[in-house]
Amino acid sequence: MIIDCAVYRNGVRESTEHDTESLEAALAGLGKDDFLWIGIGNPQTFELERVAATLGLHPLAVEDALEAHQRPKVERYTDHLFMSLRTVRYSDDDITTHEVNIFMGANFLLTVRRGGPDLRNARKAAESRIEPMSHGPTAALHAVVDSIVDGYEDVAAELETDVEEVETSVFSNRPSSDSTRIYRLKRETLEFRRAVMPLRDPVERFATGSMPEDSRPYFRDIADHLARAADAIDTIDKLLDNALNAHLAQLSVQQNADMRKLTAGATIFAVPTAIAGIYGMNFEHMPELKWTLGYPLVIAVTAGICGYIYWRFKRSGWL
């Protein structure tokens, strides 16, 4: 349940045993500038409650961490901060999100992950930068949030590539089901938006005043990455709208062209139909009935009229 646990003294890692008693001992032995970083993956209710009791976490924050599908948010309690955010992955026109909940106190950081990629790379990257890690748990918080937000930009880049493919397909001459793919991409973009947009205001507050002065530049960098991801989402959404409108317009133009061809064909065949209908009537005294060249003359006149109509339609672009 506890994936990783370590004490950081002056930015240097000291591993700790992964049990409640060891956590209590580690907390009791922390110095002024030391902090404890605990990583938990897919915990059972009783497991998280046991760790929460050791760290003194607020029960409402623990309840939010236990309930899935939280909206990205930041809440402050008396002696700790609770943050909920989502990791995002994109593959085969499908957005997948998983929840990460973070508790930060004066001398600890607890990450609770539900599914999705683990946070080992974020921890290793943070541990390689000893000077920032000496700033305390805010450095660990920055490492986790920065890793997740960097993933947003990667997803945005992949979505933009797929949107370019859709645009190319829309303006090509080959038949395709572009409207289906555009709808799927718009739905996945909406899911992406739900993960990114609610996070902008909390991170902006981190960057401008609610974090220690030495940590704010790092959160300003995250805020900048979030802004780029949000701008990319807006651009993707607008491009998909434009692609859908262009696709529908092309379908309408194609249908009009098809209707014109059908109309032209019906007009051409109306002439022989009318002549055949007249000469199919059972009257004796009709022109050319007794004339030897009457039949080829009617055929020739019919073919001439049809040819003339075809030429006029071809000239006007209907055929």
Asked whether residue 163 carries a pLDDT value surpassing 80, the answer given is: yes
Range of the domain at 169: 2-249
Give the global pTM.
Answer: 0.78
The answer on 289 and 165 residing in a single domain is: no
Structure tokens at 258: 């098809």
Greater confidence, 236 or 261? 236
Res 23: pLDDT: 81
Nearest by Cα to 95 from 152, 51, 161, 25 = 152
pLDDT of residue 175: 66
Whether the per-residue pLDDT at 95 is higher than 80: the answer is: yes
What pLDDT does residue 283 have?
65
Using alpha carbons only, how large is the chain's radius of gyration in Å? 35
Which CATH number covers residue 71?
3.30.460.20
In whole angstroms, give the CA distance from residue 289 to residue 252: 49
Percent helix, strand and coil across the chain, each to the nearest 5: 60, 15, 20
Q: Looking at the structure, do residues 127 and 181 belong to the same domain, yes or no? A: yes
Residue 285 pLDDT grade (very low, low, confident, very high; cuts 50, 70, 90): low
Tokens of 294: 């009457």
Whether residues 93 and 221 fall in one domain: yes
Q: Indicate the residue among 206, 221, 249 that finishes a domain.
A: 249
Whether 68 and 201 map to the same domain: the answer is yes
Tokens coding 82? 């609770």
Q: Which of 166-180, 183-197, 205-219, 296-310 has the highest mean pLDDT?
A: 183-197
Shared domain check, 205 and 92: yes
pLDDT tens profile 134-154: 888 998 999 999 999 999 999
Same-domain status, 255 and 309: yes
Distance CA 80, CA 282 (A): 102
Q: Which among 233, 249, 265 is the end of a domain?
A: 249
315 contact partners, CB below 8 Å, separation of at least 6? none
CA 111, 117, 122, 125 dihedral sign is positive
- How far is CA 275 from its chain centroid? 63
Q: How confident is the model at residue 25 (pLDDT cuts 50, 70, 90)?
A: confident
My answer on whether 103 and 163 are in the same domain is yes
Residues 81, 64 contacting (CB under 8 angstroms): no
Position 234 scores a pLDDT of 94
The lowest-confidence range among 238-247, 281-290, 300-309 is 281-290
Shared domain check, 244 and 123 = yes
78 and 168 together in one domain: yes
33: left (phi over 0), alpha (psi -120 to 50) or beta: alpha
pLDDT tens digits for range 257-278: 778 888 888 887 887 888 777 7
The DSSP bridge pattern shows strands 108-114 and 35-41 to be parallel
Question: Which pLDDT score, from 0 to 100, does residue 227 have?
Answer: 93
Report which of 67, 49, 69, 68 is spatially closest to residue 59, judged by C-alpha positions. Answer: 49
Same domain, 20 and 44: yes
What sign for the dihedral angle of Cα 254, 260, 266, 269? negative
Q: Look at 288 and 178; give whichever has higher pLDDT.
A: 178
What are the phi and psi torsion angles at 91 (to 5°)? Answer: -160, 135
Spatial contact of 50 and 24, defined as CB atoms under 8 Å apart: no
How many domains, in total, are found in the chain? 2
Alpha helices for 114-205 (secondary structure H): 120-127, 130-133, 137-170, 178-196, 200-205
The region of weakest confidence among 145-159, 215-229, 273-287 is 273-287
pLDDT at 158 over 70: yes
CATH for 280: 1.20.58.340
Mean confidence (pLDDT) of the chain: 86
The pLDDT of 249-257, averaged and rounded, is 79
pLDDT tens per residue across span 42-92 = 888 888 998 999 899 999 999 999 887 788 999 999 889 999 999 999 988
Together in a domain, 76 and 160 = yes
Mean pLDDT of 149-174: 89
Single residue among 249, 278, 302 that ends a domain in this structure: 249
Statement to judge: residues 307 and 198 lie in one domain = no
Percent of the chain with pLDDT over 70: 95
pLDDT at 17 over 80: no
Q: Which of 144, 149, 110, 134 is nearest to 212 (CA)?
A: 134
pLDDT score recorded for residue 191:
92
pLDDT at 314: 79
Phi-psi region of 74 (alpha: psi -120 to 50; beta: other; left: phi over 0): beta
The pLDDT, as a whole number, for residue 229 is 93
